[in-house]
Structure 1
Amino acid sequence: MLKAERHKYIMTRLIEDQKVVTTDLALALDLSEDTIRRDLNELDNKNLLEKVYGGAIQSAEKPADVFDIVIAAEEEKKKIVTKALSLLHDGQVIIMSGGSTNLVFAKLIPSDLKATIYTYSLPIAMQLSQHPNIDLIFIGGKMQKNAMVTIGMDVIQVLSKIKADICFIGASSINVKQGLTEVGYEVSIVKKAMIESSDKVVSMFASSKLNTKMPHIVCDLNQLDTIVTDLDPEDLRLEEYRKLGVFIL
């Protein structure tokens, strides 16, 4: 992976997670921790992030209003999620995980869609609360503050009782061998429960997450029905995923 590609990946993860951990980045990119530290030093020197012990945090100040959420690369994410709007139909029971791509998706759900949506993401719940025809169920539990999602047994118990038609699940990382993987164990367990409760599983993510990995497995590729990226579905970078039977939008 070229340095520019590594830097782009690091900044994408930083914006989405508000922090990055050196060991996690090294694992995801299959590089040495020394290489990651050099990259973080360079980005810190450019004032693009603030290097701290064990990783880095965002250098920009957070919005004064905690719910005034800035979505990085929002226009690019709109191009991704617009492809998935065709998967929505009246009467569906839907589960949505957290993440900025799913938040953009929530913003674009047509106002005339009549569906029931479960989510454990506070920003997505707030967005969908403005939708005139969505029956919204927010799943409460212990709040993971950096991502503003709920986690823990309370969430898993609710998910286990849902019979959903489709779920839209965010991806921290994806590769052919490990499938979907996550940075945090608790989030990975919640996503497993989400998948188990859904007839169809759709994952939407930027192509920078292709062929990367995190410590905690969410699911194998054969558990995904559809993946949606910013790439053309026939792009060669998606060939191995197609061969494994995943439908690509």
Structure 2
Amino acid sequence: MLAASRKDLLLERLRRDGRVVAKEIAAELGISEDSVRRDLRELDAAGLAVRVYGGALPASPAVADYATRTRVAPESKHRVAQAAAALVEPGATIVLDGGTTTLAMVDALPRSLPCTIITHSPTVAAALLSHQADVFLIGGQLFKHSAVACGAAAVEAANRVSADLFFLGVTGVHAAAGLTTGDADEAAMKRTLASRAAETYALASEEKVGAASRFTVLSLDAVAGVVTDVVGDDPALRAISDLGVRIVAA
């Protein structure tokens, strides 16, 4: 089998099974594991897979730059945002992560809702100008790819706040890989924010469920639930639910 055909097969298995194991593919095709690993390295370099020990996972399309992400699955993000906003009670203190789904949450939150919102996203903060909510903006070095503040100064500021809920944006939600994103510093900032809230909910529009990115944010058992509009019989979502993770249907 030619390399191009092998890669097509690997991508099909990633879509179907949510992962590939190099040893199993090599045995099935009668080729060396080195050949399979080489194919997976090339798929990883092309942004089509994420290599892990022993094989690979589907790569998330949500690692694109901020402007591009605004055009990815907007209707799905709107549904997730509506369901997440319904979890916010009057008087609550919440942390909104950066990203296009949390920005959609701003539109979903009633403008007259009395609450306190903490965010490290200047985009989210600016969108809240017409809301009654008290808004606290965490500063630091601006990570332009995701339009959020990260780095030591942002982490230090985040460690001084406390909240009832944290709405976490990620690029991948996978039963094996957990909650992932594409940048190490951003992942660290998200973990810090999660540690400052009583409960964390991960926001997962359709393109993120069953996908993975390079850096782990949290394990699935570290969140109170995953808010998603993916239907319950989806194999990737079912694998997550089978772990005991609460699914908040959007």
TM norm structure 2: 0.72
Q: Compared with structure 1, are the counterparts of its residues 124 and 57 closer, same or farther at alpha carbon in structure 2 (3 Å cutoff)?
A: closer
Tell me which residue corresponds to 1:185: 184
Q: Which residue of 1 aligns with 2:116?
A: 116
* CA distance in structure 1 between the aligned counterparts of 2:48 and 2:163, rounded to whole angstroms: 33
Matched with 1:209 is 208
Deviation at residue 148 of structure 1 after TM alignment: 1.3
For 1:164-175, list aligned pairs within 5 A.
164-175=163-174
Which consecutive residues of structure 1, in runs of 5 or more, have no partner in the other structure? 7-20, 37-55, 63-68
- In the alignment, the residues of structure 2 paired with residue 234 and residue 189 of structure 1 have an alpha-carbon distance, to the nearest angstrom, of 32
Give the Cα–Cα distance (whole angstroms) in 2 for the partners of residues 199 and 88 of structure 1: 13
Q: Secondary structure at the match of 2:124?
A: helix
Letter of the 1:111 partner, please give it.
R
Cα displacement (A) at 1:106:
1.1
Summarize the alignment of residues 1-249 of structure 1 with structure 2, pairs less than 5 Å apart. 1-2=11-12, 22=45, 24-27=47-50, 71-131=71-131, 133-233=132-232, 235-249=234-248
Q: Give the RMSD, CA atoms, in angstroms.
A: 3.0
Instruction: After TM superposition, give the deviation of residue 99 of structure 1 in Å.
Output: 0.8
Total equivalences in the alignment: 203
Per-residue displacement from partner, 1:39-59 (whole Å, max 9, x unpaired)?
Answer: xxxxxxxxxxxxxxxxx989x
Post-superposition offset of 1:244: 2.1
Pick closer, same or farther for the CA change 1:213–1:237 going to 2, 3 Å.
Answer: closer
**Residue-by-residue CA offset, 1:207-228 (whole Å, 9 max, x unaligned):** 2222222221111110011111
- What amino acid does structure 2 have at the position aligned with 1:106? V
Structure ID, larger Rg:
2
Q: What amino acid sits opposite 1:145 in the alignment?
A: K
CA distance in 2, matches of 1:122, 1:146: 13
What SS class does the counterpart of residue 118 from structure 1 fall into? strand
Letter in 2 for 1:76: S
1:158 deviates by 1.6
Q: CA deviation at 1:241?
A: 1.9
Aligned residues with identical type, % of pairs:
25
What secondary structure sits across from 2:153 in the alignment?
Answer: helix
Which TM-score applies when normalising by structure 1?
Answer: 0.72
The alpha carbon displacement at 1:128 in A equals 0.9
Q: 1:31 to 1:23 in 2, by over 3 A?
A: farther
Give the partner amino acid of 2:109. I
Q: Is the 8 A contact 2:201 2:227 kept in 1?
A: yes
| 1:103/1:185 CA distance change after superposition, 3 Å | same
- State the secondary structure of the residue aligned to 1:168: strand
Q: Shift of residue 100 of structure 1?
A: 0.5
**Kept after mapping to 2: 8 A contact 1:116/1:136:** yes
SS of residue in 1 equivalent to 2:201? strand
Partner of 2:22: none
Distance in 2 between the 1:187 and 1:99 partners? 11
Shift in Å at residue 112 of structure 1? 2.0
Displacement of 1:183 in angstroms is 0.8
Tell me by how many angstroms 1:137 deviates. 0.5
Task: Quote the offset at 1:236 in angstroms.
Answer: 4.5
C-alpha contact 1:170 1:203 (8 A) present in aligned 2: yes
Task: Write the distance in 2 (CA, Å) between the matches of 1:78 and 1:159.
Answer: 27
| Contact in 2 for aligned 1:168/1:202 (Cα 8 Å) | yes
